[in-house]
A and B are shown apart, each in its own frame.
Chain A
């Protein structure tokens, strides 16, 4: 019971954000008179936020290393899009090879920035601020200030296309796209099987296990949610290709951060760099890789985004870095590093996405939208900070309290 409570408390921020997400979805569903969750709009939401989620996952790893952020991702998105446009549209290269080449360029950008940040120890803020200018400038040079369009369909399929439907016309449960529904059910079943197997395995080996009710509750919430999402998608044009890309990114990185040695080392590095180094963590290399990975994911996002715009534009990706950073902090990442999860980041990104989309449907001007988004970000982080200090309404005592805490150990 105690361990359950600890787990709950440790994840409280995440649960709070999840409730907030559900609340905001319901609120906008009512305010937009049901437009928000219409099948077409749900597809739209996915297209609009795919690149934000991809960037936010990369940003999370940077933030985990110690509150470092990457300001250059918006420019990298634009530069990669510009290269994709030049290779495919201007030079007429094979789209598939061009995409591989673009990912390679992303990695090179990461190597450049990671080198200065990790090995020369120049603050990430400064290196990526420089990158933001440099890569935006390079975008303009590559595109010569012009927009390239349109991309051939072979390229667009990666991002704006839908998964083909071999069961077309079957119309199971009256939906248009049966494949989508089947995939949704399959995912829900696989999820439940994995959960139950893990539970039984632990129980057999005699390890402490979570209570059966927690498990059932988890499955009872998540499985219907997944099936419901795919049901909605099935009522429109099926599963967007980009959802598969995002899904793979989320799965891979969520596994990486929670189940691998390297992922654990990342949390240690952000939690206390000196202690991590003295425990044998290769801190410089890890910091370097976090930035290489960030630029790689920015390249993925660049390809997805160029396909969505169906053009390579010099203005693409502006202020994407802020969306990505905002998603991480909304999702419970610590500005000091060492705390944050991929799941939380996804929730943060969806929260921002629904907020954007809902306000747009309601016809609220984009000027007001920015104000609202800014305030929401501050509110989320402030609630977190105050709940940690357990002193929400007595701020003047805060300074003394913390001082006392420090002293207590030395005496």
Chain B
């Protein structure tokens, strides 16, 4: 009987307006690799934040036991003292410090405040050897690749004498080979050092490959824990747990009225990276949208989807963009965002807080921003018209707020997302580019957003739907493009596409063969 290292019992955590975790139970045994899977918003990250003390004791209900002892973490320091180390999706290394300095950041090899550099570098080399890295510990972190940085993070955790290693999407920004490397390292650490780890990932094949047990979360609750000792759990089995319900109920139906006219077309689009101008991020992409059609772009993070969308939208991203953009049969020159807006394109960003909304402005000011010319005359704002317009969108989109004067930062995630969508619907676009339109939004609001999208295409508009949730793409789109490493590698009508076909398409491409 394996010893329980961690036990979390009936954890419930509420945020204003959302129950992020609802009676979650999870047990991790000593020496195992335990996977936590679930859709976006299922509560994985929140659960890990409860464990690591980011959400302090008292802000949630339920009990956490580590090594049989009850835990009442007030902050990350408390959990680290027990040997719980979390490696976040965005790496937390300081780019302008050396490998050695990073590895012992906050844990310096020191004597009375004076750093022992010899010991720092020696130990850094030691830990790097364990994770299979051969680098000079004096190298600056910014000068090594992302996959090596990931390994440095793991080595850093080992240096803190980790007992439970938590990896949040460790492979999301790595390619296939490097990902396999990280997973193999985890397996080796488990074998040789007895390291217990929790891995959170969207990549189900990786989970099936390395996890001993799999806990599935859905809508903030634990669905089940699967035993994967013999690596016999299939991806389909995991998906069934994650999705749970029949697909048709998750997506509102719409009357398909795709017209024959091509509304929007991109031909031979190529874009280079903004900073590393030699690197192609979008490579000769061609795609088309019919009127009344929802077209999906699926790809892993880093496939170049956002870069493609933003560079189409008036070259808001990248350099040396080349290619043709055709709308309603007319070739367009879109050199700036105002050009794109004038051409009735809209881009709903994936990062609503970072680049979507002006958080300290009111709902009204956010809604009208893209087309101030609709509510102004000769540069003078018609405030009454603006308010009337804002009230109209508040009602029609069901934004839950007493007044449109409310600052956007006071709204829940779902309502913020509706404001973001609303501002682009207000811009009266013919073509909407939706980049992860339901990210960080709970299930109820998701359904409403899908409904809004359906209403738009039923009016004859077209939508380009970018998402990293495959189920969502399959549920919402009429046609699906698969993108990988900046290229379109496959195109499927919705009725032919399945999760397996699409994942296979990406897998084969990654292996260097021409897929689909």
Contact = CB atoms under 8 A, between A and B. Distances in A.
Nearest to B42: A411
Interface in B366-391: 369-373, 376, 379-381, 383-384, 387-388, 391
B292 interface: no
A279 B45 contact: no
A275 interface: yes
A204 to B, nearest CB: 10
A274 B403 CA distance: 26
B90 to A, nearest CB: 10
A277 B351 CA distance: 14
B14 to A, nearest CB: 10
A275 B357 contact: yes
Interface in A34-71: none
A267 B365 contact: yes
Interface in A192-217: 201-202, 205, 207-208
Nearest to B20: A411
Contact of A2 (B341, B358, B402): B402
Given A6-B403, A404-B55, A262 B384 contact: no
A411 B60 CA distance: 14
B226 interface: no
A277 B316 contact: yes
A390 interface: no
Given A207-B387, A268-B365, A400-B56, A280 B341 contact: yes
A268 B313 CA distance: 19
Contact of A280 (B20, B55, B370): B370
Chain A: number of interface residues, binned into ranges: 35 or more
Contacts of B340: 280
Interface of B: 15, 20, 41, 43-46, 49, 54-56, 59, 74-75, 310, 313, 316, 336-338, 340-341, 347, 349, 353-361, 365, 369-373, 376, 379-381, 383-384, 387-388, 391, 402-403, 405-407, 413, 423, 440
27 contacts: A2-B403, A6-B403, A6-B406, A260-B379, A260-B380, A261-B372, A261-B373, A261-B381, A264-B372, A267-B361, A267-B365, A271-B358, A272-B358, A275-B356, A278-B347, A279-B341, A280-B369, A334-B360, A338-B358, A338-B361, A400-B74, A404-B54, A407-B49, A410-B45, A411-B20, A411-B43, A411-B45
Interface of A: 2-3, 6-7, 10, 201-202, 205, 207-208, 259-262, 264-265, 267-268, 271-272, 274-282, 334, 338-339, 400, 403-404, 407-411
Given A404-B55, A404-B56, 19 more contacts: A202-B384, A207-B384, A207-B388, A260-B379, A261-B381, A264-B372, A264-B381, A267-B365, A271-B359, A275-B358, A278-B356, A279-B341, A280-B341, A280-B369, A281-B369, A339-B360, A400-B74, A407-B49, A407-B54
Closest 6 CB pairs of A and B: A411-B46, A271-B358, A274-B355, A411-B45, A3-B403, A2-B402
